Amino acid sequence: MNTFRRFGKYLIVTGALVAALAPIYWMITISFKHEIDQFAVPPKWFRFPPTLEHYAEAFLTRSFGQYLFNSLFVAVASTVFALLLGTLAAYALARFRLPYGLDRKLALWILSTRMFPAIVTAVPLFLIMRDLRLVNTKLALVIVYTGFNLPFVVWMMRGFFAEVPRDLEEAAMVDGDSRFGALWRVVLPLVLPGLAATGIFCLIVSWNEFLFALVLTQTDTAMTLPVGIAGRVTQYGIKWGAMSAASVVAIIPILAFALSVQKYLVRGLSLGAVKG
Amino acid sequence: MPTQRDLFKADQSLAYLFIAPTLAVLFALSIYPLIYSIKISFQGNTGNATLANFARLFADRFFLAALGHTFVYAAIALTIEFLLGLAFALVLNHNLRGRNAFRALLLVPMMLPPVVVGVVWRLLLNSNFGAINGTLKGFGFNTEALTWTASPTLAMASVIIADIWQWTPFMFLILLAGLQAIPQEPYEAALIDGSSAWQTFRHVTLPLLKPAILIALLLRTMDLLRVFDHIFILTEGGPGFATETLSLYIYRTAFRFSNFGYAAAMSFVLLVITNLISAGYIRLLQTREA
């Protein structure tokens, strides 16, 4: 009976794994198939002559190389800014008791700004960016994504700082370190793994974001990978191969990163990581 | 020698200095746009003050349809994702060899850019050469009626399936974490009492899992009500208006028809709905803790 149940469990898990991964695998095969094999019935899951023509088309003859660069630039810049600003705020909110419970109220208010549906702020932000002549610039996306990631950084880092015993930095301060020196030399090294995980979550959010990128960018100079892919999908005469190739490239860094933050996933997700 | 209390009191001004930049950025990127949005929602075409945008909401059958689609979409996807996620969490809560590897692999869909999820499902669901119909044809089924994203009735199912595929892992992960935080003692007590598996689940697991369940439902509901990305890729709200959700209709109103005032008015409806629902969840969470 017990082995029977055990077997059943493995069967369920295997079924779930196939359901989760087969669709992605199918897209990967499309990106490596000649067009004639892409449309074969019954579908060719395993045996087909591979080709790199779609990757060449997407990244050499079309502008996906530029989109890739834009995505990387925007993701890294917005993550760096969000970590810089957010970590300072998180430290202050974790360590100081402000009058009238202000520290707690501010922390909650910061988190609540993340709860707005994206489309609610997308409409006015587009108009504001248009007035500032920032539409179609990478800067606009860096600014918006920094704001997107800030509440998340504050809450994640606030938790990590709270786990560091106060005695350590107090000892450093009694020994003559300034508060900033104690933060830099004593506390920050201790929360470094948490900081790295937080940064990776920010990179994923910025990398995956679509709506703001769609609204704020229209030309190759600022378009990110998701917008580039979407532009190919909604036109007539879809280039399935090039689109799949671009999608495969878009998921490679995500998978590498996702595996490295397994340990912090639950904490991150309950604060709204991964999706903006 | 300063006491601990003095040290932290001494540089309170430093605290404000540390928090100020974050507050400034968030103010500029969320409060100011919200005020801006309120302003334009009360403006007519000529800039005069008007309630026309809000009055129009009640007469606009497209808006009402989009609202309906959003609720149907959210309710169906939430229910199925929750039940599947709970089932997998219960299965994987026991010591299974390779559990961590299973868990890591099951989470992959959730990490993907939603745009890529749209692409993946377009490739699978295309009625001519998609892998799903192709495989069914291979087994000798007639797939002529299965036009998926091209059919008004199946299009909604298509976008919901894609959502379930991507986000069931999220439910699974949060619920599994909740299950693993439950101590062993209540289970031992239930065993001694001779409870059946169902009774144990109903009276021990479920009540203790309630906070995790509520948090998972809250976060998913918020995301489902604002869904945009993968629907934009899979169906663009079509065919016709069949899968147009509120976010898509607001997007179209603002960025295709340049009617920003009306779009802002509709976005307030969305904001109020999500706030009310999240307040409801949070109240449920707090009553449990009290």
Tell whether A45 and A165 lie within a shared domain. Answer: no
Tell whether A204 and A118 lie within a shared domain. Answer: yes
Residue A78 lies in a domain: yes
Residue A198 lies in a domain: yes
Q: Minimal Cα–Cα distance from B185 to chain A, Å?
A: 23
E strand or H helix at B87, and its extent? helix B61-92
pLDDT of residue A124: 94
Residues of chain A with pLDDT under 50: 274-276
Tell whether A250 and A130 lie within a shared domain. Answer: yes
Residue A30 lies in a domain: yes
Mean of pLDDT over chain B: 85
Number of Cβ pairs < 8 A linking chain A and chain B = 269
Q: Residue A116 and residue B173: Cβ atoms within 8 Å?
A: no
Tell whether A39 and A172 lie within a shared domain. Answer: no
Domain chopping of chain B, boundaries: 48-289
Nearest by CB to A12, which of B91, B100, B229?
B91
Does A151 sit behind a cis peptide bond, omega within 30 degrees of 0 on the bond before it? no
Residues of chain B with pLDDT under 50: 1-2, 290
HSE-CB at A10 with a 13 A cutoff on CA atoms is: 8
Express each pLDDT in B160-183 by its tens digit. 999 999 999 999 988 988 888 888
User: How many Å apart are CA A162 and CA B249, to the nearest integer?
Assistant: 43
pTM of the model: 0.87
Residue A253 lies in a domain: yes
| CA A23-A250-A14 angle, 5° bins | 30
Q: Residue B271 and residue A120: Cβ atoms within 8 Å?
A: yes
Q: At what angle do helices B114-125 and B131-138 cross, to 10 degrees?
A: 30
The number of angstroms, rounded, from the C-alpha of B170 to the middle of its chain's C-alpha atoms is: 10
Tell whether A190 and A241 lie within a shared domain. Answer: yes
User: How many Å apart are CA A244 and CA A237, to the nearest integer?
Assistant: 14
Tell whether A217 and A168 lie within a shared domain. Answer: yes
Of A10, A27, A51, the position where a domain reaches its end is A51
Second-level CATH architecture of B48-289: Orthogonal Bundle (1.10)
Q: Residue B129 and residue A41: Cβ atoms within 8 Å?
A: yes
Name the token pair of B98. 């390779």
Of A51, A78, A93, the position where a domain reaches its end is A51
User: How many Å apart are CA A58 and CA A243, to the nearest integer?
Assistant: 7
User: How many Å apart are CA A16 and CA A133, to the nearest integer?
Assistant: 48
Q: Give me the amino acid identity at A158.
A: R
ipTM score: 0.87
Of A51, A72, A93, the position where a domain reaches its end is A51
CATH number at residue A235: 1.10.3720.10
Interface of A with B in 1-40 (CB under 8 A): 9-10, 12-13, 16-17, 19-21, 23-24, 26-27, 30, 38-40
- The single residue listed with the structure tokens 């974490």 is B177
Torsion, Cα A104 A107 A112 A115, to 10 degrees, reads -130
Tell whether A33 and A115 lie within a shared domain. Answer: no
Tell whether A27 and A147 lie within a shared domain. Answer: no
pLDDT of residue B171: 92
User: CA-CA distances (angstroms) from residue B107 to A23, B212, B225?
Assistant: 14, 18, 22
Tell whether A120 and A185 lie within a shared domain. Answer: yes
B43 neighbors B263 (Cβ within 8 angstroms): no
Does A193 sit behind a cis peptide bond, omega within 30 degrees of 0 on the bond before it? no
Residue A169 lies in a domain: yes
A97 neighbors B14 (Cβ within 8 angstroms): no
Range of the domain at A44: 1-51
Tell whether A120 and A179 lie within a shared domain. Answer: yes
Q: Which residues pair with B43 in a beta bridge?
A: B49
Q: Minimal Cα–Cα distance from A161 to chain B, Å?
A: 14
Name the token pair of A241. 């191969």
Interface of A with B in 120-149 (CB under 8 A): 120-128, 143-144, 146-147
A237 inside 8 A of chain B by CB: no
Task: Please give the tally of structural domains in chain A.
Answer: 2
pLDDT of residue B82: 96
Residue A276 lies in a domain: no
